[in-house]
Amino acid sequence: MSGVQDKVQQHYDEMAEVYDSRYDHRRGRAYYSHISRHVMSHLPRRGRLLDVGCGTGLFVYRYTSQGGSAVGLDISRGMITRARARNRSADFGTGNAEMLPFRDESFDAVASLLAFSYLKNPEQMLKEAWRVLAPGGTLAICTLGRNFLTSGLPAVYSLGEAMRIRQVGVGAFGERYYTPGEMIALLEAAGFCDVSARKCSFAHLNLVDPLYSIARRIEPFVEEKIPSLAYNLIASGKKPGR
């Protein structure tokens, strides 16, 4: 594991106890529910899902609640401990997204929410996702999108780390911010077909009030008419069937 991956793992081990307070309460829940719906719209409802970078199992819980089965994988042992406590009907384990510990063609779907940007070798993760997907299976990723609003975030997060601000995601992790075109190119190069990528999520939970409330009201308009302002993006593709 690289030094950056070690740093990410340590950070999320330390943040496991407060992770749910960010994404499963109040505005964090609204934000996470919003991006989850975007990802869910690309996935089979009752398939077998692998959630890469599953955190505390929030998305696995949503997916299994709709009748599917799921396995969650994360590099953080602390996150996996909490994920197992949240959903005892699913399987969870620690592992590296770039070396998935599963047999070929094991899953109907692979999802990843807010973890792809931390990968140092995204091409290898996509190669592994392709391998473990059954023919006709679906990949759906929510990752950080690049625009003028997000371009300064790495510097802000580095400053937060220097100031020892204890908050999920605050740190100099070398994360990458993608454009839709870049994500489409990555998925197509990995062999996926029916590839699409579009921006989503304008009402980010880090916005202060009243900006957050305003952003939530106009979010549907921004996503449809001015997607370049959105914070995240959703990329999806299918593994061709036999």
Q: What are the tens digits of pLDDT across the range 149-178?
A: 665 454 444 434 444 544 544 444 568 889
Q: What is the largest CA-CA distance in the chain?
A: 54
- Quickly state the pLDDT bin for 195 (edges 50, 70, 90): very high
pLDDT of residue 78 exceeding 50:
yes
Look over the chain and give the mean of its residue pLDDT values, rounded to a whole number: 84
Sign of CA pseudo-dihedral 126, 91, 4, 157: positive
CB 1 within 8 A of CB 95: no
Instruction: Indicate the pTM of the whole model.
Output: 0.85
Within 13 A of 44's CA, how many CA atoms are on the CB side? 19
Within 13 A of 82's CA, how many CA atoms are on the CB side? 21
Bridge partners of 110? 50, 139
Q: Count of domains in the chain?
A: 1
Kindly state the average pLDDT of the residues 55-61. Answer: 94
Per-residue model confidence as pLDDT tens digits over 131-146:
999 999 999 999 988 7
pLDDT of residue 45 exceeding 60:
yes
Domain containing residue 147: CATH number: 3.40.50.150
Task: Return the pLDDT at 229.
Answer: 86
> Can you read off the two tokens belonging to residue 16?
């496991």
In terms of residue numbers, what domain contains 156? 3-238
Per-residue model confidence as pLDDT tens digits over 202-232:
887 777 778 888 889 999 999 999 998 888 9
Provide, for the chain, the percentages of residues in helix, strand and coil under a 3-state DSSP scheme, each rounded to the nearest 5: 45, 20, 35
Per-residue model confidence as pLDDT tens digits over 90-149:
999 999 999 999 999 999 999 999 999 889 899 999 999 999 999 999 999 999 887 756
Bridge partners of 74? 94
> Can you read off the two tokens belonging to residue 220?
């549907």
